Structure 1
Amino acid sequence: MSRKPWELAFTAEPVEVASLRRIMRLHLGIWGLHDITDEAQLCVSELVSNVITHVGHGTPATLAVSLRGTHLRIEVHDPDTRALPVLRDTSTGDCEDGRGMALVDAIADRWGVLLRPDRKITWCELATKLTTPTGHVDAPGVVRAEALLRLYAAAAHSPRGTAAGVLASAVADETVIAVITDFLHWLQAHGRDTDDMLDRAQMRFEAEHVALQRGL
């Protein structure tokens, strides 16, 4: 799967936060990274809120998202190189300022600030379960589905009559259900809409069933 970096310009206003969270969820779904969606959305909220609070409402900013190895990197760019994010001890409950970056620090694997001549970049990185930047999530159901795909491809090109045997009815039913479940895991990990795939499979099954009945 190609997971190309993307960025989006926005105006630092509270009303924009919900939209940016939705966009992040959409992109992570396409990338098959559903398992870190909540953490990524929270990081976006806090990084953007930090700009709103400490740089100012209406500040032109940019959200940039990419993969660094198998880590998801989230950046927020703003033009103020003086207002640097501060991580403060909020354990006493008396300090509201800096609480957002404390949340980012608790959730992200790492975070930091880069200064450029014309802008500041506040970034954080979240670990994913990807095996490679273009690979799939390393989850049990996905791994099993990959193995099934290889076996299915090999069987499709093998001579007829080489099946290993027939399973008992009850065992066969449970095996088929397990296979379908694993393929749904595989589809989701590769950014596919599982409901859409199920609908398409049902339509194809019905069309082939009708064709068989008509002797086509």
Structure 2
Amino acid sequence: MSCIICVPRKPWSLPFIAVPREVAVLRRILRLHLDVWQVPEVVDVAQVCVSELASNVITHVGLETPATLAVSMNGSYLRVEVHDPDPRALPTLVQPQLDSEAGRGMVLIDVMADRWGIELHADRKVTWCEMATELPLTCVHAARPLIAAVDDLLNSYRAKRGAGLAGAESEPLALVAAEEAAIDIIADLLRWMQAHGRDADEVLDRAQTYFEAQAR
């Protein structure tokens, strides 16, 4: 999966009331977000985990308990959390009987997720699980202000060259246009430095050194 210009994957949360009909809503909303995040490989597992975590709140904390679903990226792992206000009612990993209709929630999560755990706070607990995605470890999940600013600058240069609007091209063509715009920007900056009496080669060498230091 290409992640040269990464899809923003900002953490998000959604308050909900712990009732059975809300579980389907949470599953649907989660799928929509994960489709946008381009991590189809974990959608099904994440939906099962959300169902079990929300159902645990209903069963062990209480019907109509106010809770919150929180979803984020932890490196290349998708992290799913359910927050509820009772730090005493802890999920437990038990092996249910074959004819049991309950008690399978954390067993499913233990089998399907790569890791899970519980965080206790004075006023709440957080039950979480994480699933490995196929995203590279170097993927930038949140659109940093600097990256957003560079995107704007590249788009303005692309417009000056007469290139198509962002998003109107296929990915390879968009990257080629962005590369050409970046070259224009670098050349214009070097000409500006030269016009102000600076050595363009020295500036370029310093920029290369700074870039390599940041990349480590």
TM over 0.5, shorter chain? yes
Equivalent pair of 1:70/1:129 in contact (CA under 8 Å): yes
Question: 1:83 is aligned with what amino acid?
Answer: A
Structure 1 residue 121 and structure 2 residue 126: aligned? yes
Question: 2:108 is aligned with what amino acid?
Answer: L
Equivalent pair of 1:67/1:133 in contact (CA under 8 Å): no
Q: Distance in 2 between matches of 1:16 and 1:59?
A: 12
Deviation at 1:43, TM superposition (A): 0.4
> 1:27-176 alignment to 2 at 5 Å?
27-90=33-96, 92-131=97-136, 132-134=138-140, 149=172, 153=176
Identity of aligned residues (%): 59
Q: Distance in 2 between matches of 1:47 and 1:32?
A: 23
TM-score where L is the length of structure 1? 0.62
For 2:28, the equivalent position in structure 1 comes to 22
**Offset from partner CA, 1:41-76 (integer Å, 9 cap, x none):** 000000000000011110000000000010000000
For 1:174, the equivalent position in structure 2 comes to none
Question: 1:42 is aligned with what amino acid?
Answer: V
Q: Distance in 2 between matches of 1:77 and 1:42?
A: 17
Q: Distance in 2 between matches of 1:77 and 1:37?
A: 20
Q: Distance in 2 between matches of 1:53 and 1:107?
A: 21
**Offset from partner CA, 1:105-153 (integer Å, 9 cap, x none):** 0000000100001101000000000013437xxxxxxxxxxxx828x83
**SS of aligned partner of 2:94:** coil
Aligned residues: 143
**Offset from partner CA, 1:182-210 (integer Å, 9 cap, x none):** xxxxxxxxxxxxxxxxxxxxxxxxxxxxx
Q: Distance in 2 between matches of 1:37 and 1:56?
A: 27
**SS of aligned partner of 1:10:** strand
Deviation at 1:2, TM superposition (A): 1.4
Deviation at 1:34, TM superposition (A): 1.3
CA distance change for structure 1 residues 128 and 97 in 2, over 3 Å: closer, same or farther?
same
Q: Distance in 2 between matches of 1:29 and 1:97?
A: 31
**Offset from partner CA, 1:73-121 (integer Å, 9 cap, x none):** 000000011110010013x415444211100000000001000011010
**Root-mean-square deviation over aligned CA pairs:** 2.2
Q: Distance in 1 between matches of 2:61 and 2:73?
A: 27
TM-score where L is the length of structure 2? 0.62
Deviation at 1:35, TM superposition (A): 1.7
Q: Distance in 2 between matches of 1:114 and 1:96?
A: 27
Structure 1: tracts of 5 or more residues without a match:
136-147, 158-216
Q: Distance in 1 between matches of 2:32 and 2:100?
A: 34
Structure 2: tracts of 5 or more residues without a match:
1-6, 142-170, 181-216
